[in-house]
Structures are given as structure tokens and as C-alpha cells.
Chain A
Amino acid sequence: MGVEQKLGDLGVVTHRLEDLVNWGRTNAMWPMLFGLACCAIEMMDTQASHYDGSRFGMELMRPSPRQSDLMIVAGRVSRKMAPVLRRLYEQMPDPKWVIAMGDCASCGGIFNNYAIVQGVDEIVPVDVYIAGCPPRPEGLINGIMTLHEKIRTEGLAHYA
């Protein structure tokens, strides 16, 4: 029983506010230009003409965290880089999301040693983990679409 049934046919389309907000969020998600290792090469390829991230509204890789919504942690994060990554995350305006791209960012991967952070979820909240060493550009796009699916399920309670 929605408003349209009460009011009759007024020629007005009603919809949930969450759907509109989520539509806006998923279709204009600017990633941050933040490559750490070899996964960054595949991240560049995702934005290049063969895979073309602008089809998903990821028009530009923003070199400034103040202008970006999505942080793709592409590559291994060393213990020295960890505070920098945390600071960049805190500089991003809400709403913000994090994708841990590849094995090293997700859980340390092959680098199970003292110098590498064993997964960036130690320092920032990660939304989607993508497996692969490095993942193909298709794999990254699939991860981004998995993130879109997650955002579409979010409601007003998550927006705060």
C-alpha cells in the first residue's frame, strides 16, 4: 500500500528514497588513484579503453582523496605504508568504500612476513575482497559490481 494507491493516477512516479540514493552512489563512484604494486597495472587496464571503467561511472581516477568515494587498495601494503593508507582513508569524505584488490591487500598473499600488513582490514574496513595475483581487469570489474550489489541492499540505517 503505497502513496500511489491512495492518491490514484496522478502521473507521478514514486519510489523508495534508498533506491534513488543507491542508484546515485553506484553510478558515480570515483576511485582513488592509489596503486601500490603490480595490481595497479591491472587497475590501470580497467580504466583503459579495453575495459573502460567509465561504463560504470568511474570516470576518473582521482589523485586526491577528498574527491574520491572508492579506495582500491591495489597491491601489498608495507608496515611503513599502513599509516599513510589509514590517513588517506580518513581524508576521504563519506560515504566511502574500500576494495582490497588482489591477494596481498586482502590477506598478505604470498608475503607472509613481518614487513607486509596481513590484510588491509587490519587498518581500514574492507567491503569487498578480490582474489587473484593480480586479478584480471574483469576480476576487478566483477569486484566493483559485487560492491554495487552490496550498496543496493543498504538502507537509511546505513547512511548515518
Chain B
Amino acid sequence: MSLFDDLKKSVFFQVPAGMATTLKHVFKPPITIRYPDVKRPVRYRYKGRHHLRRYDNGLEKCIGCSLCAAACPADAIFVEASENTDEERYSPGERYASTYEINMLRCIFCGYCEDACPTEAIQLGHDYELAYYDRASAIYTKGMLIDMPINGMPSTPRQTEPGVFTQSIPDMEDPK
């Protein structure tokens, strides 16, 4: 072994070599995301807290069929349906969800409810800030999940013309 190899292994070479890496990173901008102030955008298909959607005319998309509750692997969803009337209409068709509850602490955000929904009523949004002081407040009721009607349309329940909203599931476009 030559003298040069010994020198290369000694502290006189190794320590400056290590410190050079440290020094290089001193002048780089930090990669820390200052979370409560700066929020990293989530991906478009990120599955966060649920939303119950509405049609453009303000009626609720959910028809209370409980397919989401059947598809849920964690049994986190509870749906109770009631009958629509033309005097008090919530959603098109015969029935609407009078109770819709999701236990966020049971939900594993898999999106099976979204897949099972025939009217695309339940969708998983981008909200991930879900912390609670007790377990009861983790149960989201229908009023917390449902979106507001857009474009100033009236909310539900509302009075409608007889014989207009007879179809529960709208005509879907052909899959592309």
C-alpha cells in the first residue's frame, strides 16, 4: 500500500470530503414544505373527504339506494331512504336519502362508494384535514357532506311540477 492510499483514508482527506457535502447543501434552498402556511397541492385523483353532489338544477343526486353502503368494505356508511313527493322533492325519482352518515374514522378512503354510485352522487374530495377530539364528531351527517346548490338555484326540499322528475337515474353518456 502506497503512502498516497494511506493519505486518502486518513482524516485529513475523509473529513473535508464529508464536510464538502454538508457545505454544498448549505447553499441549496430547503425542501421543507411549511405546511400550515403552504399547502402542497394534492393529485387530481386524490381521495379525501366525501362530498354529496347536486345536479345543476339544485336537486340532490343521491337517491338513497344504499349501494355505497353495500360496497363499503369498512361499513362506514349508513343510508336511510324516504319517499319523494312533488310537494317536497329532494332528488329526481321516487326516493331520496333522508339520513346519510359517514363515519370518517371507519372510512378508509378507498373510493368504492364512488364506483358503486349509480348517479355519481358521492365523490371523494381533496380535504385531508380530519382531526377530532371525540369519536362522535367524526360522523359526518348529510348536511355536512352535501354541496351547496350552484348558480343560485333553490335548495331542497322544493315544490316541483308533477310528472317532470320521474327518472331516478339520468341518461348517461356512452362510455368513451
Contacts and interface: CB of A to CB of B under 8 A. Distances in A.
A138 B135 contact: no
B24 interface: no
Given A110-B74, A129-B138, A139 B131 contact: yes
Interface stretch (A8-16, A44-52, A77-85): A44-52
Interface residues of B, number: 29
Contact of A133 (B75, B107, B131, B135): B107
Nearest to A136: B128
Contacts of B129: 138-139, 142
B105 A138 contact: no
Contacts of A146: 131-133
Interface string B81-119: 000000000000000000000011111111000000000
Band of interface residues on A? 20 to 34
A133 B108 contact: yes
Given A138-B35, A141-B36, A132 B106 contact: no
A129 B132 contact: yes
A55 interface: yes
A133 B109 CA distance: 7
Contacts of A132: 109, 128, 130
Chain A to chain B: the 4 pairs with minimum beta-carbon distance, closest first? A133-B108, A131-B130, A143-B131, A131-B104
Interface of B: 30-36, 39-40, 73-75, 103-110, 128-135, 138
